[in-house]
Amino acid sequence: MPHPSGADPRPLTGEPLAIDLLNTRWIDGDGPHDLLDSVSGLAVWLDSPPVREHLGPDPAADQASLDRLLLARAALDALAATATLRDPATPEQAARLNDVLRHGRIRRTLGPDGAPESVVEVDEPSWLPAWYAAENWLRLAVDRPDRIRSCANDACVLHFHDASKNGTRRWCSMAGCGNRAKAQRHYARRSGT
């Protein structure tokens, strides 16, 4: 799918980086879509706010970065399915994420002004987006793993991090899947089925 305008076509953005990466695949009335089906789609994703917040404006949109990001997305996809069921990760799932994480690290130092500094170091710059997404998953898993959810609409493949106060969010978007579910319930009640 070409992205000539550079606009992000995804229906759900603004989630934490790991979940934003999962949401590079979606289904709508035109069928399934994958933003990361090309380097141009990668450029769109790299320019999105959750990504720029972590990586800054300069990550390269090239085939090596795309290949490594797809490895990270596959690992996160398996972990998200497990997290949604509130099951622990299998050793195989953990190994896939750890394979991405082993290509980077956080080096902590004391800066010249006496303040602590953290610097991410990766084997190669093309690992940076994938490593950051995998590391972000770890933060979510430590913080509130029960808040990593998939949309309650069985036809939807999107995920979200439930940041609501009471933790009862069910839909990727109330305007999309939530309203469709309400309309279906209303129709079923009115038609007596």
With bands split at pLDDT 50, 70 and 90, how would you rate the model's confidence at 2?
very low
Ranking 38-47, 68-77, 78-87, 112-121 by mean pLDDT, the lowest is: 78-87
Three-state secondary structure string covering 24-54: CEEEECCEEEEHHHCHHHHHHHHCCHHHHHH
Domain range summary for the chain, segments of one domain joined by +: 17-191
**Domain 17-191 sits in which CATH superfamily?**
Jann2411-like domain (1.10.3300.10)
With bands split at pLDDT 50, 70 and 90, how would you rate the model's confidence at 185?
low
pTM, rounded to two decimals:
0.86
d(CA 64, CA 131): 13
d(CA 133, CA 31): 26
82-137 pLDDT, tens digit per residue, is: 876 677 888 999 999 999 999 999 999 999 999 999 999 999 999 999 999 999 99
Rounded mean pLDDT of 40-52?
91
Contact 21, 130 (CB under 8 A): no
Which amino acid is located at 93 in the chain?
Q
Rounded mean pLDDT of 37-66?
90
d(CA 138, CA 123): 19
Tell which residue, 122, 123, 169, has the closest CA to residue 19.
Answer: 169
